Amino acid sequence: MRQPLIAGNWKMNGSRESVKVLLDGIKHSVHDVSTAQMAVCAPHIFLGDVQAQLENSKIAWGGQDISVHESGAYTGETAGSMLADYGCEFVIIGHSERRTYHAESDQLVAEKFAAARQSGLTPIFCIGETLQEREKHITEQVVARQIDAVINHCGVKMLGEGVVAYEPVWAIGTGVTATPDQAQEAHNFIRTKIAELDAKVADELRILYGGSMNAKNAADLLAQPDIDGGLIGGASLKSADFMTICQAAQ
């Protein structure tokens, strides 16, 4: 049985004050969620505050990016050991916003996956096609290419130590969600592809859906057999919405 995971990706939002209010709200109703795992991925500058507020709770936390380097002259970057030092369990890898705005290649993302594992972090490895790619009917080629980069660099066993997040780029921040059928089809393709190499890894791997998932549409998406949770952007910034999604994952 794969334990559902609902992870919030706060992106570059918030302040120390709003983080406090948001986490107070989440902690207030945490007892309503029994089976799903919960996590928040915060801007790195807030991780000390997040750690202080979530330590000894059952909510995990993580970063939004990682450097491939262990330390040194890499201005502005965050090493995996630093994230681990702040108690992070997770780190988002290869989000489409980093692939697009920071020109992160499949190869770099694969190296980041390995760097995360090196520091004992669980990568939340994001993949997904653009609208143009979907319209060209090459969704499967695109996600296969993105996954193969990690498998070639890290091996399929290490892929299985992470979490995959299928996030169609056209659904991110647009209010246009993939339909449950569209998402299930992509998730099933991903699991089947990995099963060709290692059936056990494929069976145990959690594949999250991300892209305009919210309190209203979460239950239908999460009811699909190959959707094991969600990576939530906008709706993770409101504690009531985030907790409604967490409850829908049970």
Active-site residues, by number, are 95, 167
Tell how strand 229-232 and strand 37-41 pair up. unpaired
Beta-bridge partner residues of 122: 90
With binding defined as CB under 6 A, does residue 109 bind ligand 13P? no
* Surface-to-core class of residue 90, CB atoms within 10 Å of its CB (0-12 exposed, 13-18 middle, 19+ buried): buried
Q: Quote the least distance from Cβ 77 to ligand 13P, whole Å.
A: 20
| Closest to 143 measured CA to CA, from 177, 175, 173, 183 | 183
* 31 phi/psi in degrees, rounded to 5: -75, -10
Strands 163-166 and 90-93, by their bridges, are unpaired
Candidate ranges 131-139, 167-175, 179-187, 200-208; the one touching ligand 13P (CB under 6 A): 167-175
* Subset of 185-204 contacting ligand 13P (CB under 6 A): none
Which position among 63, 80, 229, 233 is part of the footprint of ligand 13P (CB under 6 A)?
233
In this complex, which beta carbon is closest to ligand 13P, that of residue 120 or of residue 173? Answer: 173
Q: Closest approach of Cβ 195 to ligand 13P, in Å? A: 25
Examine residue 133 and tell whether it contacts ligand 13P (CB under 6 A): no
For the CB of residue 11, give the shortest distance to ligand 13P in the complex, in Å. 7
d(CA 34, CA 6): 12
Please say which residue, 162 or 211, places its beta carbon nearer to ligand 13P: 211
Tell me the residue number closest to ligand 13P, measured at CB: 233
Is residue 172 part of the contact set for ligand 13P (CB under 6 A)?
Answer: yes
125: Cβ contacts below 8 Å, ≥ 6 apart? 93, 94, 109, 113, 150, 159, 162, 163, 164, 165
Q: What is the dihedral of CA 100, 164, 235, 184, to 10 degrees?
A: 110
Residue 211 interacts with ligand 13P (CB under 6 A)?
yes
In the stretch 8-47, what mask flags binding to ligand 13P with x, by CB under 6 A?
Answer: -x--------------------------------------
Which of 5, 201 has the CB closer to ligand 13P? 5
